[in-house]
Amino acid sequence: MSNPLRSPLDQRLPRIAGPCGMVLFGVTGDLARKKVMPAIYDLANRGFLPPGFSLVGFARRDWADEDFAQIVHDSVREHARTPFREETWQQLCEGIRFVAGDLGDPAAYDELSRVVAELDEQRGTGGNHAFYLSIPPGLFPVVLEHLKTSGLAANTPDAWRRVVIEKPFGHDLKSAQELNALVGTVFDTGSVFRIDHYLGKETVQNILAVRFANEMFEPLWNSNYVDNVQITMAEDIGIGGRAGYYDGIGAARDVIQNHLLQLLALTAMEEPLTFAAAEVRAEKEKVLSAVRLPKDLAAHTARGQYAAGWQGGTPVVGYLQEEGIDPSSHTETFAAMRVDIDNRRWAGVPFYLRTGKRLGRRVTEVAVVFKRAPHLPFLAEAVQELGNNALVFRIQPDEGITVRFGSKVPDTSSIEVRDVTMDFQYGEAFTESSPEAYERLILDVLIGDPPLFPRHVEVELGWTILDPVLDYWAEQGQPDQYASGGWGPQVQYEMLARDGRAWRRP
């Protein structure tokens, strides 16, 4: 586990995983091929993995070790962030193994146990193994039960076993509680890593850095100065080939329950005593416990489905015309909602969350919108274009921070004030390129550093917030339609207009 009492010098030293290996379930999926396997290679290429690191693939395929190694090689060549180095690849390749079998077959786990034990001897992994479940959530119980009965999940005084669980963590509060209870019977709390890749992004972590490393912001970070907070995650793509997963899940379960509520927690939390896992999680949980829904969900929530339209100059079909989607589906592809935080710092400040597919462009941002100045000693016509000051954290793709404020227009006979922006961009300020989120998170799993992984309490609090909205929407019939390539249904603008506010255009 990480040590919160490390000296400043220790904290500057590179964090390198000790002897260990990873077992990857779901090696044929896009997530494993495009994110997990390349991240493992990039970590090895940057020197963060031990020389004897091992990677075991598990799937129902008639593959030999060499076949799986070729799959990993191809995914690395296509998707790795760092340059391909033959020396790195050969070292990694020596530790690649494959176990063929069905997820429900006990004999396959016996073979997996044998392979893991063999790697402990041949590669010096020391009995330390992480089990990465890159599989559909419905298969989690099957794998967890077999990891338990086979003895693969058992920690020893000299070795650790950990599990990595991809979202979604359930589809409502009840299912999340059932999943958490099951996981708890197999792995102890400190060995469970619920991965939310958004928390691994440098720009998300920068929210905490900007808040707590700069004295200029903290005095303003409260209801005395902040008018509202807007958190947006917009995608310019449709569901692609994910119809089987997405239909029945929808935008709110897919994004708001995890990504956007986590961004809210980081934006609104109090300063932790240290950045040890327990301290950070405690502050996030306090904030999520204080989140309250408005009484009138009809007035303060919005949902929609993308219809046919144009995306990047190309005509695209609507959600109901996508292959594999029920033409009568009520699943939302756009979701927006207002929440309030019932504590001293944020009382009276609405937090607006929205996400959607087939929107104008891909962007994720957190905009802290400040109140207008109480008195403007200028002529009305001189400030008619002046909006609220704002501090905007740009999470992706144009990573950085924007500050919007008023400034005098030059070469005018009288003082005329307009909005201007000041930008900080990661790519220009730092020579180091930002690692992929999965690099950071996988390394944290292997080191045993859990601050960026939500505990079961956070997961359940997220469902406690969202479930009443989902129940309300289930009774409302078809979502509003919106044209692909736009910014979502009109009802979202009406939602903010009732509060005397407007969405910031990303």
Q: Which residues of 305-319 are buried (b: 16+ CB within 10 A; e: fewer)?
A: bbbbbebeeeebbbb
Taking alpha carbons only, the member of 437, 431, 342, 338 closest to residue 395 is 437
- d(C-alpha 498, C-alpha 496), whole Å: 5
Which conformational region is residue 49 in: left (phi greater than 0), alpha (psi within -120 to 50 degrees), or beta?
Answer: beta
Round to whole Å and give the CA distance between 108 and 149. Answer: 12
Q: Residues 6 or more apart from 148 whose CB is under 8 A from it?
A: 185, 186
d(CA 136, CA 168): 9
Angle formed by the axes of helices 37-45 and 437-447, nearest 10°: 80
DSSP at 384: T
**Residue length of the chain:** 506
Which among 217, 204, 270 is positioned nearest to 403, based on CA atoms? 217
The verdict on whether 259 is a catalytic residue reads: yes
Q: Which of 197, 259, 300, 456 is catalytic?
A: 259
Cα 324 from Cα 317, distance rounded (Å): 13
Residues designated as active site: 259
